[in-house]
Structure 1
Amino acid sequence: MGVVIETDFWEPNTISYLFLFLFCLSSLLLLPYFKTASTRIIPVFDRRRMLPTASPSVPFLHFQIWFLLVYFLCSVIEGLEYMFGQFEYDHYGLSREWMVVALTLGCAASLLVGTFLGVLSDVIGHRKACMLFCILHIFTGVLKSVTNHQSIWVASICLGLASSISSCSFETWMVAEHEKLGHRKELLSETLWLMTFFGAGSVVASLVLTNSLASWSAGKGIVLPSTAAAILAMICIAYISREWNGSPPTSGIRGYKMSFSAYILSDKRIWLLAWVQACLHFSVAIFWILWSPTIVADGREVHLEMIYPCLMGASMLGSTAVPWLIGGPLSVAMEDFLMGAFAIAGLVLSIVAFDYQEIGVLVTLFCIFHACVGLISPSLAILRTTFVPIELRAGMISLSHAPANAAILFVLIEGGYHCSLGNATIWALSTFGLLTSAGCMHVLKRWRKQTQKDPHSF
């Protein structure tokens, strides 16, 4: 007896978009009415601060809006390159193995060179590092417009380096400039969670722009999205070079090494933060590598581009929960809700790893995971503000990504190229990292209480 299988494209219900939009909007609009008078924002690092505190010279709202605008545009640039990259691989007919090679090159660049770009950013100044981010994207756009598919390998390396810069330099410049301009410390956490909010929104904007440009340039060549990214990068570099201030001079590499050893390597709490950041970075990277093959397993047909807004909407919703938890009516200790968020994220990925799920259930689980990521990312940035000196912040972030990038490289080679590592095993590795991160948050909470009793214990 034959079995007839009806094939149908799956896509999220329209109600899902409406639900996420209304909840994000409600969270943003209702927060001012429920926010407590005395917010429990973790204070900015000041015990070992080298930067002087000045009186406010630039209105905070002006500073925040223009920074977030530039950050949003730079995130759109990244999104254009990565979204368009998938279309580019298909257009040139690259096999699965060569796609993995391209990803491996970018990851290897992030590991071998990108690990030290944060240190370079601290030494030469974060403004120059952010300009280098734009220059790399301009170079990538020009390269693709003149060399066609041969540029994919060089572009992968450039994008890997640019991603390493964006992961640390923009945040660090904002924190340093916030302090130098003398803005109130409790306002810093607001900008940090808004970075996550706008960063997630930029992915949706990149998807829409990429699809529009790819459709418009059909039959005219496929370099238009890369050209658009290069143009946006030129706009950003023009604004950064004119409006952004540079960092104060440092004491050089030798002085930086001494400070890093004294303040970063000797503090066990920062080691915990570094491990947690590495696990989060690894899990998010693994998600974007495996989420599509997991959903379309067994030949299931899905409109993947319709799922992107749901995932990013969930991340935006998670980021809006940060002010409610640290300064709103809930007032939960940061280590407590981070423990819960890491545990939930780990549990979600464990279900994906060890149990076959229908598409709707998978998308729901992935949205929960991204809501946790949206909550965790700005919260870790606030914790870094507590423990890490501003002058060493970018170096700490980039070095903490090194073990994650090494693990991603291993997964790409063994799981993607040699196919000797199953997807379930890779998901399980992400689960392990997230659950250990929950344990690290528990230890950090215990150590914080110990430090309050004995300030010299660390």
Structure 2
Amino acid sequence: MLFGTIVGSLADKHGRKRASMTYCITYILSCITKHSPQYKILMVGRILGGIATSLLFSAFESWLVAEHNKRGFEQQWLSLTFSEAIFLGNGLVAILAGLFGNLLVDTLALGPVAPFDASSCLLAIGMAIILSSWTENYGDPSESKDLLTQFRGAAVAIASDEKIALLGAIQSLFEGSMYTFVFLWTPALSPNGEDIPHGFVFATFMLSSMLGSSFASRLLGRASIRVEGYMQTVFLISSASLLLPFITSFMVAPTEKGGSISFAGCIQMLGFCVFEACVGLFWPSIMKMRSQYIPEEARSTIMNFFRIPLNISVCIVLYNVDAFPISIMFGMCAIFLFIASLLQRRLLVVAESSWPLEKVRELETEPLNNI
């Protein structure tokens, strides 16, 4: 929240290509620290990891949107690129990375740090590709603007444009629930020490996410379907799916210690797969909305602003994870997602009021044109 937000926001002024290369360097250094058992060095690695994560979720997307617009490509292609990135990157590559990491640790017996070393090699390759093939682009490269001025400008943009503020709140609510789910799904499926196949479950989640992103590409590929509209339904479905652990805690009797996954666990597993499909829908859709509403000159800075309440909420949840039952934590996430659906409805209303009349008529007549 602290270091990542500051460094990530420098991308607008000093260049998105340079920031993307900085991501590779900082994460390589973070991976190297895993070889040390000393807490101080590991903490430095986490600081570097926080900086790298902030750059990962802002610099690359900002570079892509700016480069796409600079080359005059069709806006519809941007949506398809986002969908393919989530399908291949967050889905297929995530599964392959997990299998490869398992191969290094278990099959080849290279130790638990081996996946971090492999990551460093891949990051070095990625940095070489960025260095050799990317052009640089900026938000506002004005030398007169220091970091504080950038933050002030981003805060003014968020406060003065309701669409940006709503988008930031929606993103924080959904991603906060998503990261809470990442921490809690394992104890939720095995509350009594049940023996569950974690690798298979993770692969199933990733497949569900891939299906969601594939469906998103179809929705984003049709100009008559508004991303602001269908995302309301996505948030409602995701809210219902994370409400299942809360419901099953009252309706299904607890099982004995050990054994395989329980009946309640199977029901929750189904809901978690639905939630992961919603995650697959969420990423390309939120990227599309960010490309529409966030101003180019402060894109990275504003995107990192959105991550501040997200990181605060995750810290609060983790700090109090033992204070409440897991079912209550999932119930809170369901409430957050329901609020996100209400905010999404408001975003649709505000966005429609600002659209030009010609755009509305175009969307209304497109089905007739297709016929």
What band does the TM-score fall into relative to the shorter chain? 0.7 to 0.9
Return the alpha-carbon distance in structure 2 between the equivalents of residues 266 and 288 of structure 1.
34
CA contact (8 A) 2:229 2:345 kept: yes
- 1:6-17 to 2 correspondences below 5 Å: none
CA contact (8 A) 2:244 2:268 kept: no
When residues 120 and 429 of structure 1 are mapped into structure 2, their CA distance, relative to the original with a 3 A threshold, is farther
Cα distance 1:114–1:319, how it changes in 2: closer, same or farther (>3 A)? Answer: same
Normalised by the length of structure 2, the TM-score is 0.85
**What are the superposed Cα offsets for residues 353-394 of structure 1, whole Å, 9 maximum, x if unpaired?**
332362322221111001111112111111111111122222
Aligned length: 339
Question: Which residue of structure 1 aligns with residue 237 of structure 2?
Answer: 344
**Structure 1 residue 324: deviation in Å?**
2.0
| Alpha-carbon distance between aligned partners in 2 of 1:116 and 1:165, rounded to the nearest angstrom | 10
Say whether residues 1:439 and 2:333 are aligned partners: no
CA contact (8 A) 1:321 1:375 kept: yes
- Name the structure 2 match of 1:90: none
Q: Equivalents in 2 of 1:360, 1:379: separation in Å?
A: 29
After superposition, the Cα gap between the structure-2 partners of 1:149 and 1:311, relative to the gap in structure 1 and judged at 3 Å, is farther
Q: Distance in 2 between matches of 1:306 and 1:152?
A: 30
Match of 2:203 among 284, 287, 309: 309
Equivalent residue number for residue 390 of structure 1: 296
Q: Is the Cα contact below 8 Å between 2:213 and 2:284 reproduced in 1?
A: yes
Contact 2:86/2:210 (<8 A) preserved: yes
Q: Please list every run of at least 4 consecutive aligned residues from structure 1 whose deviation after the TM superposition is greater than 6 angstroms.
A: none
CA separation of 1:158 and 1:262: change in aligned 2, threshold 3 A: closer
Unaligned runs of 5+ in 1: 1-110
Match of 2:56 among 160, 166, 170: 166
Residues 203 and 444 of structure 1, relative CA distance in 2, 3 Å threshold: same
Tell me the residue number matched to 1:63: none
Contact 1:281 1:401 in 2 (8 A): no
Query: 1:127-206 residue pairs with structure 2 within 5 A?
Result: 127-145=17-35, 147-148=36-37, 150=39, 151-198=41-88, 199-206=90-97
Matched, 1:421 2:311: no
Q: Structure 2: 5+ residue runs without aligned partners?
A: 250-262, 359-371
**For 1:291-322, what per-residue CA distance to the aligned partner results, in whole angstroms no more than 9, with x for missing partners?**
01101111211011111111111111111112
Whether the aligned pair in 1 keeps the contact of 2:173 and 2:310 (CA below 8 Å) is: yes
Question: How much has 1:286 moved relative to structure 2?
Answer: 0.4
In 1, Cα distance between equivalents of 2:294 and 2:350: 16
Q: Does 1:213 align with 2:104?
A: yes
Pick the aligned partner of 1:294 from 176, 180, 188. 188
Mapped partners of 1:182, 1:343: distance in 2: 36
Alignment match of 2:246 (pick from 353, 371, 374): 353
| Distance verdict in 2 for CA 1:182–1:452, change over 3 Å | closer
Residue 246 (structure 1) aligned with residue 136 (structure 2):
yes
TM-superposition CA deviations, 1:202-230 (whole Å, max 9, x none): 21111101100002442x54332211111
| Aligned pairs (5 A) from 1:325-336 | 325-328=219-222, 331-336=224-229
- The letter for the 2-side match of 1:241 is L
Task: Let me know the Cα RMSD of the aligned residues.
Answer: 2.2
Instruction: Give 1:453 shift.
Output: 6.9
Name the counterpart of 1:71.
none
**Counterparts of 2:45 and 2:341 in 1: how far apart (Å)?**
36
Change (3 A) 1:304 1:216: closer
Seen in structure 2, the aligned counterparts of structure 1 residues 171 and 281 have a Cα distance that, compared at 3 Å, is: same
- AA aligned to 1:443 is R
Instruction: Tell me, yes or no, if structure 1 residue 266 matches structure 2 residue 169.
Output: no
Letter in 2 for 1:214: V
In 2, Cα distance between equivalents of 1:453 and 1:187: 22
Q: Distance in 1 between matches of 2:346 and 2:80?
A: 26
In the alignment, the residues of structure 1 paired with residue 34 and residue 218 of structure 2 have an alpha-carbon distance, to the nearest angstrom, of: 45
Give the CA deviation at 1:153. Answer: 3.1
SS at match of 1:245: coil
User: Does the 8 A contact of 2:82 with 2:288 survive in 1?
Assistant: yes
Instruction: Confirm whether residue 449 of structure 1 aligns to residue 352 of structure 2.
Output: yes
